[in-house]
Amino acid sequence: MLDNGNTPTASADAASAPVGAGAGRPVVASVLTPVLDEERYIRDAVARMQAQEIDGDIELLFMDGRSSDDTRAILEEIAATDPRIRIFDNPGRTTPKGLNIGLRHARGEFIVRMDAHTHYPGNYVAAGVERLRRGGVVWVNGPQVPTGRGPWSARVALATQSWLGIGSATFRRGAGTEIETDTGFTGMWSRADLERLGGWDDEWTINQDAELAARIRASGGRIVCIPEMAAEYIPRDSLKMLARQYYRYGFYRAKTARRHPLSLRRTHVLAPGVAASVIGSVVLPEPLRRPARLGLASYAVATIVASASIGARQDARLRDAAALPTVFATMHLGWGAGFLVGCLRFGPPLAGLARLAGLSGGETHSGSGPSPVAVAGPRQAGADAATAAARYGAPAAGGEASGRLPMQPEVAR
């Protein structure tokens, strides 16, 4: 039964009845999972979600982007034996549109985002609920633990063991205790907070969590990463897919930084600098090519040193350690090129760059202490960004490029 995004795939009685083993009990958490062509992974993903151990009832909402494979059929087969599962059509086919469909139909006190390509521990939901109920935070998530499934996937996992591979994304490092971050990987929120925020911005096909995080922090809300919610993420297993993934990260990070200047970090300008040096070493006049080439030489030395250090520390195979400079270059050039193209598409994030250069008085929100989420929704945030851009003499950002993008888990970088 194909749904139009307004009603779940379930009988009318099942759709209106409380979800879970204990009929009549309120739903504690709603798990939202956008999917598209996930037939290879969906059974295992659903099984892990069904195995969540929590004191109370949960519901599992899947928003299918009109998959061309058997993803939907598999979900309907599983849903026939588990009343906690509801399936919705996602005609927009993108991750944020799917998440917003799920949010509109969610009945839980808390909202959980899960992805089909990520392995979550059995206490993931319970740990998030416990932390949110203690208060003082708006978004709680766990460390992203890269786990290779294939030769290049394993090498990418190795690369993300270093600062050169993850920059200042503290949620990707993990820690033995709770740490505050400026964004996160999937995670949990209270439904009331997400609804006040207006949910995810449909215009952010990629990087939607970073855009949401910027609004949370602008309101004074805190985002924390706790070790109990560590989840295994499977990196891409080919350089082509890795380059495409990081290009899109950089492209939409430029858009996020344009709307939310405070979200731009110093590490965000390093990869564009490398990409610009590659271009400059070829197209600039000869006297200016030398500095660009010297910069690239320094970058090459840094990747070799980092690769050797990772190889020794992780006891990696020689062939894997030797491939790490290629992995780093693919990630950085992809991200950097995407960021530069994003600046051309949406306009450069001048306000954010001015802040990093110390030319403006903007301060990073510390998010210290509990505070209600009363920030304006995504559309008002765009208007605020246009005002900030006008202050620095730049045109307002335009819309996004169109096109279908897969529902892979996208890390907010």
pLDDT in tens, 368-409: 333 333 444 565 544 444 443 343 333 333 333 333 333 333
Instruction: Give ranges for CATH 3.90.550.10 in the chain.
Output: 26-153+170-234
d(CA 398, CA 400) in angstroms, rounded, equals 7
Q: Between the CA of residue 340 and those of 244, 246, 403, what are the distances in Å?
A: 14, 12, 19
pLDDT digits (tens, 9 = 90+) for 333-362: 999 999 999 999 999 999 999 999 888 655
Q: Which residues pair with 89 in a beta bridge?
A: 64
pLDDT digits (tens, 9 = 90+) for 82-93: 999 999 999 999
Q: Between the CA of residue 266 and those of 221, 356, 385, what are the distances in Å?
A: 22, 7, 19
E strand segments, 7-102: 27-35, 57-64, 85-89
Among 3.30.565.10, 3.90.550.10, 3.40.50.10190, 3.30.70.141, name the CATH number for the domain at 26-153+170-234.
Answer: 3.90.550.10
> What does the pLDDT read at residue 132?
97
Residues in the chain: 413
> What does the pLDDT read at residue 394?
37
E strand segments, 80-120: 85-89, 110-113, 118-119
d(CA 219, CA 94) in angstroms, rounded, equals 26
Q: In terms of pTM, does the model score above 0.95?
A: no
d(CA 187, CA 115) in angstroms, rounded, equals 10
Q: Binning pLDDT at 50, 70 and 90, where does residue 288 land?
A: confident
> What does the pLDDT read at residue 399?
38
Q: What is the mean pLDDT of the chain?
A: 83
d(CA 269, CA 339) in angstroms, rounded, equals 9
Cβ-contact 347, 397 below 8 angstroms: yes
> What does the pLDDT read at residue 170?
58
* For residue 225, pLDDT beyond 50: yes
E strand segments, 193-272: 223-225, 231-233
Give the 3-state secondary structure of residue 112.
strand
User: For the chain, percent helix, then strand, then coil, each to nearest 5?
Assistant: 50, 10, 40
